[in-house]
Amino acid sequence: MPCHNNLEEYLEAYIEAAGITGDREGPLWMCGARCAAGPSIPASRRRSAVTRFAGTTDYLNSGSRIKVAQRMAGHSNAGTTGVYDQRNDAVSLDEAERIAI
C-alpha cells in the first residue's frame, strides 16, 4: 500500500536512528524500558494500536469513506474498521460546559 510522502520520510529517519536499517524481519517499533519490565502487551504493540486508531480517525475526519479505510487497513469487515473510528469519542467544549458548577 502506498504511504504519504511525509510518512515515508519520517519512517526512514526513524529506521536509521533506531539502527534497524538492515533488519527487515525484526519489529519496526522498539519497545523500550517498559517492555523489558514484562507488561502483558508489549509497548510496541500498544503504540501500533494507538497509531492505527489515530490514523483511521484522522483519515475519516478528512471526509474519507469508511469502505476505503477498510481496504487500506486490510479488514474484511467494515465493522472491524469502525472499531478504529474514534471520531465520536472526543468530548467537545460544549459537552463539558453542560456540567453545572
Residue 32 lies in a domain: yes
Q: How much is the pTM?
A: 0.48
The domain tally of the chain equals 1
Return d(Cα 66, Cα 74) in angstroms, integer. 12
- Domain extent for 46: 5-86
Using one digit for the tens of pLDDT, what is the confidence trace for 8-54?
888 889 889 888 888 888 887 766 555 544 445 555 555 566 667 77
Using one digit for the tens of pLDDT, what is the confidence trace for 43-89?
555 556 666 777 888 888 888 898 998 988 888 988 888 888 887 77
Residue 99 lies in a domain: no
Residue 25 lies in a domain: yes
Cβ neighbours of residue 61 closer than 8 Å, sequence gap 6 or more = 87
First vs last C-alpha separation in the chain: 50
Residue 47 lies in a domain: yes
Return d(Cα 13, Cα 101) in angstroms, integer. 48
Return d(Cα 62, Cα 69) in angstroms, integer. 11
